[in-house]
Chains A and B, each alone.
Chain A
Amino acid sequence: MLSIRSAGKQYGKVRALDDVSFDLEDGRVLAIVGANGAGKSTLIKIIAGLMRFEGDVAVDGVDVRRHGKAARRHIGYLAQHPAFHLDMTVQETVQFFSQLRGAEAGEARSAVLAVGLEPHATKLVGALSGGMRQRLGLAVAQLGSPSLFVLDEPGTGLDVSARLELRDFIRAQRSAGKSVLLSTHWLEDVPSTADDVLVLDQGRVVFHGPSVEFAAASTARSRLFLRLNGHTPDAIPLVADAARGEVTQTGEWISVTCLTSDKVRVLEALVAAGIGLLDFRVEEATAATAPPVLRERVPS
């Protein structure tokens, strides 16, 4: 189990992480979501013991700051861009990390098998593709049978099949009663992989709750930008009603945030009222826009 209390990190004048607290129970998957610079990687590096920090972080009751080495025995870490020594083979690499992690004999070979790298076991790491290095990272993370997996943007650079394999890996760990914490900006992956979601915005938690709530609140939203043929004052109440959202006007343009499924209703209402469109633009919700949407859903 992972427990974080009032975790914070300051880079010079920038507050990268501020007063972050949450628990992750055994057998649960938590997705950390946020725009670039929101503090996702900082939080993950703090948990992995790669950064000094304020507050308290404990894995299975072991304090990461005071007993970092012991705590990291419980953590399998996968960096966003896993880096290994390029002049070692896959087998040598896994064997080396197996010794570092105090893994049992034979675990290195099993880990290579588990990620499908056995045909490449004698290849140098430098000759592996990005996807294969990601698999090697997963093999290393499994060594020593950690109870918590910490994965930093694990889907980055993976093709569709590799992402599906990653999803299977996460499910398998959850089934085995292990916890998984992963950061992502692929919002569509969240409902299928994570039980819970924690949204970071400028280093602060703006949402922490079940992934189904997160999905309902963020991924099905769109922002519509409309330029009308001179009937803007008449259109604003119509659009607000159809979109069930607040309409803002900037020059010739009006904009409204609505459920993705309500986009058509907005256009139908305008056409029915005889208001023609000169131009329009649609933005789907992303990790960058999700936090403001979720701001009111922060647990007290």
Chain B
Amino acid sequence: MTATMTIFSKELKDAVRGRWLVAFAVTFALVALALSLVQQQGGVGAQGFSRTTASLINLCLLLVPLLALILGASAIAGERDRGTLATLLAQPLSSTELVLGKYLGLTVAVWAAVMLGFGVAGFLVALVSPVTDLGHYLLFVMLSAALASAMLSIGVLISVVAGGRSQALALAVLTWFLLVLFYNLVAIGVALSIASSGEMLLAGTLLNPVEAVRILAILSLEPDLQVLGPLGSYLYLEFGAVTSALILAGSVLTWTAVPLVGAVALFRRQDA
């Protein structure tokens, strides 16, 4: 077993041992079920998956980034705080292998939580309502996983930069606030004040993986201009659905790769 796989395997075991994986899977499942039931009671059961998916998007955009950022931020900073970082790095293990092993382990653990939670909920919804628009629901689950990968990458970068775990967690929550809550207000403000600048709108979309995933999810359901918001509307009108989806997917991929590469590069320069 390579060193990366050993660290990867330990992260997965820690996720199960720490019970957070199961806790989040249950949370995701309960929330998805609750939203689905609300839709059923509203008399829209025939469109179970589509409605449930639409309702889940906003909730997913709040919960998944928070979970991923916090877990990522604890990855290296936690080891540093416990003093175990030096113990690990004194072994035949490179800094790159440690960061990659931790990132991959956490990514698979969060994917498992998301897929387990939404998977169980999806199965239960399918038992009581006709299976329509299942593809949208599956795509939504995949987008949630992709968002988790990008946010974990940012979290790991925070973890490397921060002095300790508490500082890393504070930075993670601040990042979540900026990307998830504050960004939309700023984006709308910018869109209204500098509406003529297409580059600004495009940059506004690509500079935030949460926004990119939100627009991707809505595009996959029904590209309603009002729901897409100013940034999504600009993309859709300018490039069309398919090109927009490719641009946004590229943005999420970039947000997954670049912070992780940055974290590795910075970590290699640090003393343990």
Contacts and interface: CB of A to CB of B under 8 A. Distances in A.
Given A83-B87, A87-B17, A100-B3, A69 B271 contact: no
Contacts of B93: 69, 72, 100
A85 B89 contact: no
Nearest to B10: A96
B271 A83 contact: no
B128 to A, nearest CB: 40
B42 interface: no
B272 A45 contact: yes
B237 interface: no
B6 interface: yes
Contacts of B6: 96, 99-100
A50 B89 contact: yes
B92 A70 contact: yes
A208 interface: no
B83 to A, nearest CB: 3
Interface in B65-95: 82-84, 86-94
A75 B14 CA distance: 27
A49 B82 contact: no
A186 interface: no
A99 B1 contact: yes
Contact of B92 (A81, A82, A102, A140): A102
Contacts of A45: 86, 271-272
Label chain B's interface by main secondary structure: helix
Contact of A51 (B17, B88, B97, B272): B272
Interface in A35-59: 45, 48-52
A48 B82 contact: no
B90 A83 contact: no
Contacts of A87: 14, 17-18
Contacts of B87: 79, 82-84, 140
A28 interface: no
Nearest to A50: B272
Report which residue of A69, A77, A84 has the largest number of chain B beta carbons within 10 angstroms of its beta carbon.
A69
Interface in B1-49: 1, 3, 6-7, 10, 14, 17-18
Interface residues of A, number: 29
Contacts of B90: 48-50, 72, 75, 77, 79
A101 B92 CA distance: 6
Nearest to A97: B91
A83 B82 contact: yes
A69 B1 CA distance: 15
A68 B94 contact: yes
Nearest to B90: A77
A73 interface: yes
A236 B14 CA distance: 70
A186 B124 CA distance: 68
Contacts of A100: 3, 6-7, 88, 91-93
B91 A51 contact: no
A215 B89 CA distance: 35
A70 B3 CA distance: 12
Report which residue of B89, B90, B272 has the largest number of chain A beta carbons within 10 angstroms of its beta carbon.
B90
A224 B200 CA distance: 79
A56 B226 CA distance: 64
A81 B83 contact: yes
Contact of B83 (A83, A101, A140): A83
Interface string A96-113: 110111100000000000
B271 A52 contact: yes
A73 B1 contact: no
Contact of B89 (A49, A73, A84): A49
Contacts of B86: 45, 50, 79, 83
Contacts of B272: 45, 50-51
Contacts of A77: 90
A82 B82 CA distance: 10
Interface of B: 1, 3, 6-7, 10, 14, 17-18, 82-84, 86-94, 97, 269, 271-272
Given A49-B89, A81-B83, A100-B3, 14 more contacts: A52-B269, A52-B271, A72-B90, A72-B92, A79-B83, A79-B90, A83-B83, A84-B87, A100-B7, A100-B93, A101-B91, A101-B92, A140-B87, A144-B92
5 cross-chain pairs, A with B, having the tightest CB-CB distances, nearest first: A83-B83, A50-B272, A77-B90, A51-B271, A73-B92
16 contacts: A49-B89, A50-B89, A50-B90, A69-B3, A69-B92, A70-B92, A72-B90, A72-B92, A77-B90, A79-B87, A83-B84, A83-B87, A96-B10, A99-B1, A101-B91, A144-B92
